[in-house]
Every structure is written in structure tokens, then in C-alpha cells.
Amino acid sequence: MRKAFADTLLRVAEENPKVAFLTGDLGFQVFDPFREKFGGRYLNVGVAEAQLICCAAGMALEGWRPVAYSIASFLTGRAFEFIRVSVAYPGLPVVVVGAGGGYTYAASGITHHAAEDLALMSLLPGFTVVAPGDSTEVTALLPQVMQLPGPAYFRVGRYGEGTFEAEEPCVLGRARLVASGRRVLIATTGDMAVVVSKALKLLKSTAIEPIVYQFHTVKPLDTRTLDRIAPEIEAILVVEEHYPQGGLAAAIAAWRITRSEPMEFVRLGPPDRLALGNFQREQLRKKLQFDSEAIVQMCRNLWEKHR
């Protein structure tokens, strides 16, 4: 995913001479082509996330289209006040990129976990919040985000996340149909879409056919799609690599209370506590029960319950 981001950014910068890339001492080798081709538009501020954001805001005020890149946990947490005051308050077109969202860096411990990044950025008025599911979505969404008149948060993974197939193109602000189905809706965001796709393959030998949507745009939430399919579904299963507060599940739960349909609501994802230890990401997903096997079992339970 990170390589797709770097390649797409390079193409966007070739088309727009005002695009600039700012990093917090990260991305060496991955962003070398950008630095070599656009040296004057590449700025490494060092391990100083607050300064990274302030510098990007100043450049935006001068007409640049800055992309500020750092590890998600440090950028959204350590520099939150500066993002709020310097970017959100004036509504500047800065793209804040959180690398390693969720538990991408699970083995590095809680300092590197970013299971609250979507919530923090969604709290900021005027922010668009995007969590692509794989490299193809990164390639499709980044140019669209760069066209926004205001600020945005863009969560990206690291590498080796895998890919998934979908039945619709990737359009910013619109939930993407991954698989047609009935009765049970699986809603996902970020690279949990790949995990859900693995679960779908495991369900192929059964009669269970959930409808699956990838909500790569967490804010604004695509409530039009939800309104359209609401009469057809009996249960909603949200799968996310984010805390219960402020992520996709919280956004869909807020929408659900506006509907009269008796839809059951279930969430699979990290609980409301820190994940202590140095687990690998796959181990953590299994331990916290939001891996592909857990998704399959929950689909079975919901399907049987609403049969």
C-alpha cells in the first residue's frame, strides 16, 4: 500500500507543480524517486510532527498543496492540537497521511498502535477521512483527495496487505460494493476489506451470502447507500481495525438510530482497551477476534438467527 501511495503521489506531482511532500524523517527509499525528481518540493522536517503540520499549513497558505506524512500514531496524536488549530480552523487543503494505521506496527507495542486515528481526525470539522482497503484503492483515491478544497486524513498501511476485488469503482465519498448478497450487511473500512474478502471465500461453500460494502470514506459517511439498502437487510456486521469510539461502527450506529427498520447491529474489532504486548498483527486480530475466522462465525450466527 505504501509503494502504491508513493507511486501515485509522484504522478499527481507531475500533473500539479504545487504539490509538495513533507515527511517526519520517514519513507527513505520509498520516496527517493519523488525527492530526486522534485527536490525543491520534498522536505524532511525530522522527528518533529508538530513542526511538520505547521510547515504544511504555512505552505498551504502560500498556495501549495502539501502532503504531510508520518507514522499514524505520532502524527494524529502528538500533533493533534496543531492539526486542529493550524489546518482545520482555517480549512486549509492539507492532506495528513497516517502511515501504519490501526495495528500495522503491532509488534512495536502501544506507542505505534493507531486504533484511534480515524476518530481523532473525524472529530475535526471540515476534515474528510479516508481509509483505503488496498493498493488499488490508494491509487484511485489519492488523486481525488488531492482535489478537495479542504483538509483530509488519509490512512495507509505498510506493505503486503493483499488486495481484494469489488463490483464497483472506487469513488471518494461513496461506499463501494464488494459483493452482492442479502439479509446481512458486512460494512468494513481500511484493509480489513481484505480480511473480509478472505471470509467470503470461506463462506462460498455455504448458503450464506452477505452483502459487503467497503466504506473507504469514513467521513462523510455514505448514508445514501445505507438508506437505499436498509429495507433489504436484517442485521449489520461492522468489521474495523479501530476502537469502538469514533470509527466506522460508531458512524453507522449513529445513522442506524435514524431508521425504523429492526436491524440487529454487531461489531467486530478491537475492544475499548490498549493492546499490550508485542503481537504480530495477525496474532492480534485472532486474539481480539476480528480475523477472517471470527467474521465467518459471526456471519453464521446472524444468518441462523435471522433465517
Pick the CATH number of 2-156 from 3.30.200.20, 3.30.1360.10, 3.40.50.970, 3.40.50.920: 3.40.50.970
pLDDT of residue 287 exceeding 90: yes
35 close to 191: Cβ distance less than 8 angstroms: no
The predicted structure's pLDDT at residue 306 = 84
For the chain, give every domain's residue range.
2-156, 176-305
Q: What is the pLDDT of residues 172-218, one digit of tens each?
A: 999 999 999 999 999 999 999 999 999 999 999 999 999 999 999 99
Which pTM value belongs to this model? 0.96
73 close to 112: Cβ distance less than 8 angstroms: yes
Q: Do domains 2-156 and 176-305 have the same CATH topology?
A: yes
Q: What is the CATH number of domain 176-305?
A: 3.40.50.920
